[in-house]
């Protein structure tokens, strides 16, 4: 399945629809990993006419209003697990707590977020023989694609998650990969970790997630 993943920075070239359609030919799903404006998510959704699932980033606290959708037609899957055409997808939004803020969490708070997903993942294990295929997050795992500054520190809880639930992919944003110094794709145990900032078009191998 071909998937468009986005985070953190609007890709201005995508507002030229011919370029968007050329780069995203065959895309059947959009996954957004936070810190993007609603107008951009709605534009991608309407232009490509495929479902869009997202999690909030640490700079989205002013954009998310109670009882109102952040982006019309898009679905927030923070702390949720959904199934899409055979893919089991979960989401954990927010970043490491470096100040007071709505989508900033300590390790203990992120652990509680994970616990809210466990009942659905347990059902997945019974029904599909696996917990999850893809986890989308805003922040990276601790020590993988993160930075020394506390604002861009990754979560140790994500390392525990990958060890316990073995998703095939963890896709995140928040940090900017430096082509000369940092890889945008890494591995931890059986999980492929992808930094999508600011976008990637992924061809997911069905054989690797079933």
pLDDT digits (tens, 9 = 90+) for 122-141: 999 999 999 999 999 999 99
Examine the pLDDT at 66 and tell me if it is beyond 80. Answer: no
Between 205 and 81, residue with greater pLDDT: 81
Examine the pLDDT at 196 and tell me if it is beyond 90. Answer: yes
| Percent of the chain predicted with pLDDT > 90 | 84
Please give the tally of structural domains in the chain. Answer: 1
Examine the pLDDT at 150 and tell me if it is beyond 60. Answer: yes
Examine the pLDDT at 57 and tell me if it is beyond 50. Answer: yes
Q: Decide if 153 contacts 13 (C-beta within 8 A).
A: no
Q: Decide if 92 contacts 68 (C-beta within 8 A).
A: no
Which residue is associated with the tokens 């507002």? 15
Between 71 and 107, residue with greater pLDDT: 107
Position 210 scores a pLDDT of 39
Phi-psi domain of 143 (left: phi exceeds 0; alpha: psi -120 through 50; beta: other)? left
Mean pLDDT of 19-32: 97
Position 79 scores a pLDDT of 97
Position 207 scores a pLDDT of 46
Q: Decide if 109 contacts 6 (C-beta within 8 A).
A: no
What is the arrangement of strands in the sheet containing 75-76, beginning at the earlier edge strand? 75-76, 52-54, 27-32, 2-7, 198-203
Predicted TM-score of the model (pTM): 0.93
Domain at 36, CATH number: 3.60.21.10
- pLDDT-derived band at 177 (thresholds 50, 70, 90) equals confident
Position 67 scores a pLDDT of 47
Position 209 scores a pLDDT of 46
How many other CB atoms are found less than 10 A from the CB of residue 184? 16
Handedness of CA 104, 171, 142, 150 (dihedral sign): negative
Q: Decide if 151 contacts 95 (C-beta within 8 A).
A: yes
Residue 204 is part of which domain span? 2-208
């Amino acid at each position: 399945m071909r998937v468009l993943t986005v985070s953190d920075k609007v890709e201005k070239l995508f507002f030229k629809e011919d370029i968007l359609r050329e780069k995203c030919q065959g895309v059947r799903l959009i996954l957004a990993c936070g810190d993007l404006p609603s107008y951009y998510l709605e534009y991608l959704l309407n232009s490509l006419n495929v479902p869009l699932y997202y999690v909030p980033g640490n700079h989205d606290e002013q954009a998310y209003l109670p009882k109102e959708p952040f982006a019309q037609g898009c679905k927030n899957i923070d702390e949720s697990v959904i199934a899409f055409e055979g893919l089991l997808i979960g989401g954990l939004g927010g970043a490491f707590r470096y100040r007071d803020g709505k989508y900033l969490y300590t390790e203990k708070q992120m652990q509680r977020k994970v616990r809210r997903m466990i009942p659905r993942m347990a059902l997945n294990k019974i029904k599909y023989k696996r917990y999850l295929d893809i986890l989308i997050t805003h922040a990276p795992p601790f020590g993988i694609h993160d930075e020394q500054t506390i604002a861009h520190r990754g979560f140790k809880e994500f390392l525990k998650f990958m060890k316990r639930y073995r998703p095939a992919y963890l896709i995140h944003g928040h940090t900017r990969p430096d082509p000369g110094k940092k890889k945008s794709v890494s591995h931890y145990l059986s999980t492929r970790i992808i930094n999508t900032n600011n976008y990637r078009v992924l061809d997911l191998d069905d054989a690797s997630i079933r």
